[in-house]
């Protein structure tokens, strides 16, 4: 019975007991169990990719009015395995003049950075790698390692297109970190903690209800961090061949692919944890296994949104991409942070701790900011239309002098 | 507390195995027949002209600098946000002034034309 309620904690306790029974020092025993836990988390996240690749291809196909993979297994669910076998037998081609160490390290670093994020993602109240008290900062820091991996790949390939891809990475991924961090500050402010699991515990009201704008900002800017459409400028096929991965082949290329898919799923999991209440739901505290189910349902809902966004949006141009970040997302995020801080403090000073009031005031302020932004955008669009509407200089046929 | 960091430390130690081991295995399985033509740098059907590590557009550098200013200052806001409910009103106001300074920086950069892609 205990096993069915919370299998993972049960196995952990049982293993630690077993190791203690073998006269291993308690510190070493717990370290061994943690090592095993880290191994399980890493393997699990990589195994998830096999499923998400299939899911993404299937949804992609359906939206484009195709069938998608449907030959291997029911609904083509095992399609990824033949693909993997194929890519395992592909030759590695290292281009002339490549910086070998950096070139080989780049795909490993990119995937490692994504897997490391899974250390702080809570699946259930107690089923979590670790709840470090600086979880949000950890996410931001590890995200930067992934960016570093892509820059290394582009630089070391000794290829101009790859180098252009790396340049664009610098401007894109690095820029979008600013609104992402600002949007992450809002839940930290509302939950008074930086640990991801503590943030989930603080969400008696989901943060997406308290601050839908912060959730939207985080979602949009993390799309750019993943580096896929509409923000896939770093590997834009029609401009840069394949961007930073041009010179990669075989499984080294495959690892970038895995890293991208896993990153998309990880970001969905983080969005679900930070804004949608993670494992929270009816009876999740008593039945941890139910919490895991809630967590995955929420994650897959967000992941579905990510896929739909990828398929339905055209690629942005680089100046549009940067304008969207610096002139739209960042100012809104700054205003949102100021407003949230003021509202939260005023409510606290007035001694109002009714949940309903808190929700309505926060939600109202968020909607007000959204309305103001839309209004400003409409004014600007109107001005733009008028500018276009003015008579443009056109070539006019020379007037023939009146003949008389 | 220390146990939390032990987990992350162990994770850091073993994490390279997950992508590294498949790459090594694939290296053993895959054929190795390199020819000079195969390892040439790819360049749309032509041979690469000149140095590949070219100079980059200065605009990228400007954006990286703008980011640096913001990111460093944002890190200071995290402790403020965590201790938010224990702060007096003065502390909150000073935090907001700090954010307003950030906003001013953004507007200054905007007016100076730093944020334009040229």
pLDDT in tens, B25-75: 888 888 888 888 888 887 777 777 777 777 777 788 888 888 888 888 888
Rounded-to-integer distance, Cα A138 and Cα A156, Å = 27
Instruction: List, in order, residues 6 or more apart from A334 with CB less than 8 Å away.
Output: A182, B99, B102, B103, B106
Q: Residue A194 to residues A159, A185, A214, B78, B79: CA-CA distances in angstroms?
A: 41, 9, 16, 8, 9
User: Cβ of B88 under 8 Å from any chain A Cβ?
Assistant: no
Interface contact B42-A137, CB threshold 8 A: no
Interface contact A89-B29, CB threshold 8 A: yes
Rounded-to-integer distance, Cα A41 and Cα A244, Å = 28
**Per-residue pLDDT tens digits of chain A, which is 404 residues long:** 556 666 666 777 777 777 777 777 777 777 777 777 777 877 888 888 888 888 888 888 988 888 888 888 888 888 888 888 888 888 888 888 888 888 888 999 888 888 888 888 888 776 676 777 888 888 888 888 888 888 888 888 888 888 888 888 878 888 888 888 888 888 888 888 888 888 888 888 888 888 889 999 999 888 888 878 788 877 777 777 777 888 888 888 888 888 888 888 989 998 998 888 888 878 777 777 788 888 888 999 999 999 998 888 888 888 888 888 888 888 999 999 898 888 888 888 887 777 888 888 888 888 898 899 899 889 988 888 877 666 667 777 777 776 66
Mean local confidence (pLDDT), B77-102: 86
Q: Residue A99 has what pLDDT? A: 83
Residues of B whose CB is below 8 A from A342: 92, 96
Instruction: List, in order, residues 6 or more apart from B50 with CB less than 8 Å away.
Output: none
Q: Which residues pair with A128 in a beta bridge?
A: A122
A 139-198: CB under 8 A from B: 155, 158-161, 163, 167, 170-171, 174-175, 177-178, 181-182, 185, 188-189, 192-194
Q: Residue A22 has what pLDDT? A: 76
- Which chain B residue lies closest to A134 (C-alpha atoms)? B78
Are A341 and B96 spatial neighbours (Cβ–Cβ below 8 Å)?
yes
Q: Which residues pair with A122 in a beta bridge?
A: A128
Are A39 and A31 spatial neighbours (Cβ–Cβ below 8 Å)?
no
Q: Residue A388 has what pLDDT? A: 67
Considering only CB atoms, B32 lies closest to which of A91, A115, A159, namely: A91
Q: B9 or A335, which is more confident?
A: A335
Residues of B whose CB is below 8 A from A345: 84, 87, 89, 92
Dihedral of the alpha carbons of A105, A109, A111, A115, in degrees to the nearest 10: 140
B 63-82: CB under 8 A from A: 63-64, 66-67, 70-71, 74-75, 77-78, 81-82
Closest CA to A192 of B3, B24, B81: B81
Rounded-to-integer distance, Cα A126 and Cα A9, Å = 7
Whether this model's ipTM surpasses 0.95 comes out as no
Q: Which residue has the tokens 């680089």?
A: A318
Q: Residue A404 has what pLDDT? A: 62
Residues of A whose CB is below 8 A from B1: 133
Considering only CB atoms, B63 lies closest to which of A87, A104, A322, namely: A322
Interface contact B16-A108, CB threshold 8 A: yes
A 293-352: CB under 8 A from B: 318-319, 322-323, 326-327, 330-331, 334, 337-338, 341-342, 344-345, 348-349
Interface contact A345-B89, CB threshold 8 A: yes
Instruction: List, in order, residues 6 or more apart from A328 with CB less than 8 Å away.
Output: none
Considering only CB atoms, B60 lies closest to which of A167, A241, A251, namely: A167
**What is the value of pTM for the model shown?**
0.86
Rounded-to-integer distance, Cα A320 and Cα B117, Å = 9
Interface contact A342-B106, CB threshold 8 A: no
Instruction: List, in order, residues 6 or more apart from A152 with CB less than 8 Å away.
Output: A102, A103, A105, A106, A109
Considering only CB atoms, A167 lies closest to which of B1, B56, B81, namely: B56
* φ/ψ (deg, to 5) at A133: -80, 0
DSSP A122: B
Are A193 and B82 spatial neighbours (Cβ–Cβ below 8 Å)?
yes
Instruction: List, in order, residues 6 or more apart from A5 with CB less than 8 Å away.
Output: A286, A287, A288, A289
């Amino acid at each position: 019975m205990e096993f069915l309620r919370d299998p993972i904690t049960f196995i952990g306790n049982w293993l630690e007991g077993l190791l203690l029974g073998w006269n291993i020092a308690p510190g070493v025993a717990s370290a061994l169990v943690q090592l095993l836990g880290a191994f399980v988390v890493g393997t699990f996240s990589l195994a998830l990719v096999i499923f998400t690749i299939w899911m993404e291809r299937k949804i992609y196909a359906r939206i484009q009015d195709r069938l998608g993979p449907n030959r291997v297994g029911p609904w083509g669910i095992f399609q990824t395995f033949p693909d993997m076998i194929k890519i395992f037998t592909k030759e590695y081609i290292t281009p002339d003049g490549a910086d070998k160490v950096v070139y080989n390290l780049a795909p490993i670093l990119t995937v490692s950075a994504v897997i490391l994020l899974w250390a702080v993602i809570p699946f259930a109240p107690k089923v979590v790698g670790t709840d470090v008290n600086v979880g949000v900062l950890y996410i931001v820091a590890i995200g930067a390692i992934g960016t570093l991996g892509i820059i290394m790949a582009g630089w070391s390939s000794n290829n101009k297109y790859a180098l252009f891809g790396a340049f664009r990475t610098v401007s894109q991924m690095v820029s979008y970190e600013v609104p992402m961090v600002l949007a992450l500050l809002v839940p930290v402010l509302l939950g008074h903690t930086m640990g991801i699991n503590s943030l989930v515990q603080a969400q008696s009201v989901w943060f997406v209800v308290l601050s839908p704008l912060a959730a939207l900002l985080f979602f949009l800017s993390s799309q750019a961090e993943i580096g896929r459409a509409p923000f896939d400028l770093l590997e834009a096929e029609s401009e840069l061949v394949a961007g930073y991965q041009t010179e990669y082949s075989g499984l080294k290329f495959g690892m970038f692919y895995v890293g991208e898919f896993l990153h998309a799923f990880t970001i969905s999991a983080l969005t679900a944890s930070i804004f949608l209440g993670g494992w929270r739901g009816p009876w999740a505290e008593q039945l941890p296994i139910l919490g895991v189910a809630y967590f995955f349902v929420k994650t897959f809902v967000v992941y579905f949104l990510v896929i739909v966004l990828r398929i339905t949006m055209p690629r942005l141009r680089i100046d549009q991409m940067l304008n969207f970040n610096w002139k739209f997302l960042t100012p809104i995020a700054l205003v949102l942070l100021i407003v949230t801080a003021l509202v939260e403090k005023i409510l606290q000073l007035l001694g109002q701790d009714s949940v309903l009031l808190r929700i309505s005031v926060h939600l109202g302020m968020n909607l007000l900011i959204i309305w103001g932004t839309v209004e400003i955008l409409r004014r600007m669009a109107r001005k733009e239309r008028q500018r276009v509407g003015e008579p443009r200089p056109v070539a006019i046929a020379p007037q023939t002098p009146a003949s008389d | 507390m220390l146990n939390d960091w032990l987990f992350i430390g162990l994770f850091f130690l073993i994490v390279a195995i997950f992508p590294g081991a498949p790459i090594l295995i694939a290296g053993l399985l895959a054929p190795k027949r390199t020819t000079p033509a195969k390892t040439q740098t790819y360049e749309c059907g032509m041979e690469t002209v000149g140095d590949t590590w070219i100079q980059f557009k200065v605009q990228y550098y400007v954006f990286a600098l703008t980011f640096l200013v913001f990111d460093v200052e944002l890190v200071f806001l995290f402790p403020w946000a965590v201790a938010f409910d224990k702060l007096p009103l003065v502390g909150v106001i000073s935090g907001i002034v700090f954010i307003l300074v950030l906003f001013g920086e953004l507007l200054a950069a905007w007016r100076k034309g730093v944020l334009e892609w040229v």
